[in-house]
């Protein structure tokens, strides 16, 4: 029997790619999403890309803070595990609106965990972030590094990790995998699904892609005076399809062994600067990306990349793609969908 997986936030960027990999891997997927930062067109496209497996996908527009709707869903469907992506993720907005972030991310997660517990579904994969390493004393980051957060978004990740550790301590029937993502970029190689942020993008590659299609005049490079190879910030960019496959590996681990509450870095282990990433994108797209050099962005760290040995050894997962493939697929998505899932007049 195919395992039935509940995917919260499955209409979003990472969620939609993971749902596709789930379907292709023979799982059934039930997506819930409030569509706050996504479009149901992504769900339709995932179903199309999945071909005959598309029939194993269903979608419910539900907000995690609406506990009654969650209860109703769990009372009518048995889930073998949950992958929990749903949450707000804009660092700057979280500083302006901390209560919104605590309400959405923390209350939403507590509702989900309570409903899971009361229906006896105790297997969870949660989207954490490398942001929980704060400004690390050294790189690469291992899972044992001390944790800290510099903004409300990061604190929601840290608190949810702690909540997960506490519920496992209180009830050893839970099996939980916390995945600390580094910097997901790129899109499905078909160019049919990808990242479609609302408003002005906060992250590097969505901004670069909007410059490339003529929606923004230039990329502002935040800081060129870091102690890095070329002065710009260094990150561990990971292809979103590799990241999605990491979730399938995590699920398999949950089904195969009694894991407790474990944490894994998902990255490539390689550090790439902003200028290197822009150069790779220019090469892949043939588009020139005009740059404006500016001051450091408050709260940014200088260099962050992962040690990925734990995921490689225990999940038998390793990223396959490099930055050239990431940029190739980002451009394929951007050039085919310059306005994401919307149209020129529905997007700014
Ligand atoms: P995304 O915004 O594209 O996807 C999140 C989805 O959750 C959206 O579709 C949104 O509509 C939905 N959502 C938000 N609040 C909800 C609620 N209360 N109820 C139901 N649905 C809700 O973001 P993403 O990039 O796909 O990120 C997925 C997860 O991974 C998030 O938890 C994010 O914090 C985490 N993460 C992302 C990155 C990154 O760089 N993209 C890095 C580390 C961690
Ligand atoms: N960055 C930039 N201009 C932008 C967005 C990001 O120079 O418009 C830089 C940022 O300072 C960091 C890197 O790109 O060094 C990755 O930033 P992103 O926001 O994508 O990820 P995070 O900072 O969360 O790792």
Q: What is the 3-state secondary structure (H, E, C) of the chain?
A: CCCEEEEECCCCHHHHHHHHHHHHCCCEEEEEECCCCCCHHHHHHHHHHCHHHHHHEEEEECCCCCHHHHHHHHHHCCCCEEEECCCCCCHHHHHHCHHHHHHHHHHHHHHHHHHHHHCCCCEEEEEEEHHHECCCCCCCECCCCCCECCCHHHHHHHHHHHHHHHHHHHCCCCEEEEEEECEEECCCCCCCCCCCCCCCCCCHHHHHHHHHCCCCCCEEEECCCCCCCCCCCEECEEEHHHHHHHHHHHHHHHHHCCCCEEEEEECCCCCEEHHHHHHHHHHHHCCCCCEEEECCCCCCCCECCECCHHHHHHHCCCCCCCHHHHHHHHHHHHHHCCCCCCCCCCCC
Instruction: Tell me: do 218 and 310 sit in the same domain.
Output: yes
Instruction: Tell me: do 246 and 325 sit in the same domain.
Output: no
Give domain status of residue 81, yes or no.
yes
Q: Domain range for residue 216?
A: 204-235+270-343
Mean predicted confidence (pLDDT) in 238-245? 99
Residue 346 has pLDDT above 80, yes or no: no
Instruction: Tell me: do 56 and 158 sit in the same domain.
Output: yes
Q: Is the Cβ atom of 203 under 6 angstroms away from ligand 2?
A: yes
Instruction: Tell me: do 285 and 258 sit in the same domain.
Output: no
Around ligand 1, the residues with Cβ closer than 6 Å are 9, 11-15, 33-38, 63-65, 85-89, 104, 108, 127, 129, 181, 183-184, 203
The pLDDT of residue 343 is: 75
pLDDT digits (tens, 9 = 90+) for 172-231: 999 999 999 999 999 999 999 999 988 899 999 999 999 999 999 999 999 999 999 999
Instruction: Tell me: do 136 and 152 sit in the same domain.
Output: yes
Give domain status of residue 41, yes or no.
yes
Give domain status of residue 175, yes or no.
yes
Give domain status of residue 131, yes or no.
yes
Q: What is the CATH number of the domain that holds 9?
A: 3.40.50.720
Nearest CA to ligand 1 atom 6: 9
User: pTM above the 0.95 mark?
Assistant: yes
Instruction: Tell me: do 302 and 169 sit in the same domain.
Output: no
Instruction: Tell me: do 257 and 128 sit in the same domain.
Output: yes
Mean predicted confidence (pLDDT) in 17-27? 98
Q: Is 226 an active-site residue?
A: no
Give domain status of residue 192, yes or no.
no
* Number of structural domains found in the chain: 2
Instruction: Tell me: do 252 and 331 sit in the same domain.
Output: no
Instruction: Tell me: do 211 and 169 sit in the same domain.
Output: no
Instruction: Tell me: do 122 and 216 sit in the same domain.
Output: no
């Amino acid at each position: 029997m195919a395992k039935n997986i509940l995917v919260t936030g499955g209409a979003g960027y990472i969620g939609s790619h993971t749902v596709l990999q789930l379907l292709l891997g023979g799982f059934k997927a039930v997506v819930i999403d409030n569509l706050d930062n996504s479009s149901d067109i992504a769900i339709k496209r995932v179903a199309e890309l999945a071909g005959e497996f598309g029939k194993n996908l269903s979608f419910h527009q539900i907000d995690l803070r609406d506990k009654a709707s969650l209860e109703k869903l769990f009372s009518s469907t048995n889930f073998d595990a949950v992958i929990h992506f749903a949450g707000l993720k804009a660092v700057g907005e979280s500083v302006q609106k901390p209560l919104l972030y605590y309400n959405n991310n923390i209350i939403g997660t507590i509702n989900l965990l309570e409903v899971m517990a009361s229906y006896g579904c105790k297997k969870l994969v949660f989207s954490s972030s490398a942001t929980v390493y704060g400004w690390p004393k050294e790189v690469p980051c291992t899972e044992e590094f001390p944790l800290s957060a510099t903004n409300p978004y990061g604190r929601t990740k840290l608190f949810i990790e702690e909540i997960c550790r506490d519920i496992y301590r209180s009830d050893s029937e839970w099996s939980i995998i916390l995945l600390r993502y580094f910097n997901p970029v790129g899109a499905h190689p078909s160019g049919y699904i990808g990242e479609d942020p609302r408003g002005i993008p906060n992250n590097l590659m969505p901004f670069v892609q909007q410059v490339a299609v003529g929606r923004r005049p230039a990329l502002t490079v935040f800081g060129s005076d870091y102690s890095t190879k070329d002065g710009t910030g260094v990150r561990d960019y990971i292809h979103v399809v590799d990241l999605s496959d990491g979730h399938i590996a995590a699920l398999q681990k949950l089904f195969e062994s009694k894991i407790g509450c474990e944490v894994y870095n998902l990255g490539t282990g390689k550090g790439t600067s902003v200028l290197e990433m822009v150069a790779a994108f220019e090469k892949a797209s043939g588009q020139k990306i005009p740059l404006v050099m500016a001051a450091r962005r408050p709260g940014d760290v200088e260099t962050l990349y992962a040690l990925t040995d734990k995921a490689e050894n225990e999940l038998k997962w390793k990223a396959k793609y490099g930055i050239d493939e990431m940029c190739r697929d980002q451009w394929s998505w951007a050039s085919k969908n310059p306005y994401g899932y919307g149209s020129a007049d529905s997007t700014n």
